[in-house]
Amino acid sequence: MSAPRLTQPSDRFVRSHLKLRQMVLLVELGRHGSILHAAQAANLTQPAASKLLAELEHALGVQLFERLPRGVAPTLYGDVMIRRAGAALAEMDAAHQEVMELQSGMSGRVAVGTVMTPSIALVPEAVKLLKARQTRVNVSITVDASKLLIQRLRAGELDLVIGRILDADSAAALNFEPLNDEPHQLIARAAHPLAKHPDLQLGDLVGTGWILPPSGSILRDRLTALFLAQGLDPPAELVETVALPVVANLLMGSDMVVALPVELVQAYLDTGLLTVLPFDLGIRMDSYGIVTRKNSQLSPAAAAMLQALQEVAGRRATF
């Protein structure tokens, strides 16, 4: 049930009443769920924090937090304000960082988030192209799952993401430029007992050890569905990890298998340490692409990184 709506303020009225301290307080309330702890984190007294929150709720005309016996919980409106306040503060931090970098002679900073596959070749090639043009740009790269990267992008912690948009709410607030999908192959050590199987079937893989991403991931769900669709129990011998060095070492030292895009392990395939098993999983992931925030202007460094990614992706698509 949504929170009660109190009045309908004008945009100008809200802007004139919204204070930097209130935005800081909103973010801290989201983190701590307590007015006392949020006030301490924002260097405010508890009465001052309560007054700032009350003023903001009055200005907006909605209840932002539900008062509980122990602490507070954001309403639907509160969730929106926490997210927007966090993004606004992140933009101010980014502006300050840009000014400091320009004063020191640097050419800016860009924070990039990426899922695993483009982190192997696409992103490094784009960074090299960017550095060839602007050597002083400071590039920060985070590799993680799309869901977490999109959250950080919307919070203003990342400038752009190479990943997937997985929910409709995020899609409405983001731009998406598709790049590629990820056909997955079954990878194992070169001397794996199944490597020369004359007619490998899914049933032959039930008793094999598997390396899988954590529960809830797209790949994990689709692999589980693949086994269940053929009346088979999903593999029971599992190791959960997405760390590529761990995956490679497990494969080379055991008879475990993993479903991965070939690009991720191409170096191991080229040296003969790993091989692609003769079985078509038929699994393709949703397309990943370049994701940016709508209605948010990229810094010069982030815009240059975006251009480099687009150029490298364009070249790779022609091969």
Asked, for residue 5, whether it belongs to a domain, the answer is no
Split into its structural domains, the chain has a count of: 3
Per the CB < 8 A criterion, the answer to whether 293 and 154 are in contact is: yes
In angstroms, rounded to a whole number, what is the distance separating the alpha carbons of residues 15 and 26? Answer: 15
Of 24, 53, 85, the residue that ends a domain is 85
Shared domain for 130 and 264, answered yes or no, is no
pLDDT at 49 > cutoff 80 = yes
pLDDT at 14 > cutoff 70 = no
The mean pLDDT value for 216-227 works out to 86
Shared domain for 144 and 260, answered yes or no, is no
Phi, psi torsion values for 20, nearest 5 degrees = -60, -40
Question: Could you tell me the pLDDT band of residue 240, with boundaries at 50, 70 and 90?
Answer: very high
In angstroms, rounded to a whole number, what is the distance separating the alpha carbons of residues 313 and 160? Answer: 15
Helix, strand or coil, per DSSP, at residue 106: coil
The mean pLDDT value for 158-163 works out to 94
Taking each helix axis from N to C terminus, what angle separates 122-133 and 300-317, rounded to the nearest 10 degrees? 130
Per the CB < 8 A criterion, the answer to whether 162 and 290 are in contact is: yes
Tens-digit pLDDT profile for residues 115-154:
888 988 899 999 999 999 888 888 999 998 888 899 899 8
Q: List the beta bridge partners of residue 194.
A: none
Phi, psi torsion values for 24, nearest 5 degrees = -60, -45
**Residues contacting residue 304 through CB under 8 Å, at least 6 positions apart:** 110, 130, 133, 134, 137
- CATH number (domain holding residue 238): 3.40.190.10
In angstroms, rounded to a whole number, what is the distance separating the alpha carbons of residues 50 and 46? Answer: 6
**Residues contacting residue 306 through CB under 8 Å, at least 6 positions apart:** 160, 290, 292, 298
Cα radius of gyration rounded to whole Å, the chain? 24
Shared domain for 189 and 270, answered yes or no, is yes
In angstroms, rounded to a whole number, what is the distance separating the alpha carbons of residues 264 and 121? Answer: 9
Asked, for residue 248, whether it belongs to a domain, the answer is yes
Asked, for residue 176, whether it belongs to a domain, the answer is yes
Asked, for residue 199, whether it belongs to a domain, the answer is yes
The mean pLDDT value for 187-202 works out to 91
Asked, for residue 252, whether it belongs to a domain, the answer is yes
Shared domain for 209 and 260, answered yes or no, is yes
Asked, for residue 231, whether it belongs to a domain, the answer is yes
Shared domain for 164 and 19, answered yes or no, is no
The mean pLDDT value for 8-12 works out to 52
Q: What is the DSSP letter of 287?
A: P
Shared domain for 54 and 122, answered yes or no, is no
* Amino acid 120: pLDDT: 87
Asked, for residue 90, whether it belongs to a domain, the answer is no
Range of the domain at 297: 106-181+287-317
pLDDT at 319 > cutoff 50 = no
The pTM assigned to this predicted structure is 0.59
Shared domain for 169 and 313, answered yes or no, is yes
Beta-carbon count within 10 A of 202 CB:
14
Helices and strands, number each (H, E), in the chain: 13, 12
Asked, for residue 64, whether it belongs to a domain, the answer is yes
Residues 161, 132, 125, 90, Cα dihedral to 10°: -10
Sign of the torsion angle spanned by Cα atoms 145, 135, 87, 178: negative
* Residue 294, CA distances (Å) to 28, 170, 178, 231 in order: 25, 10, 16, 45
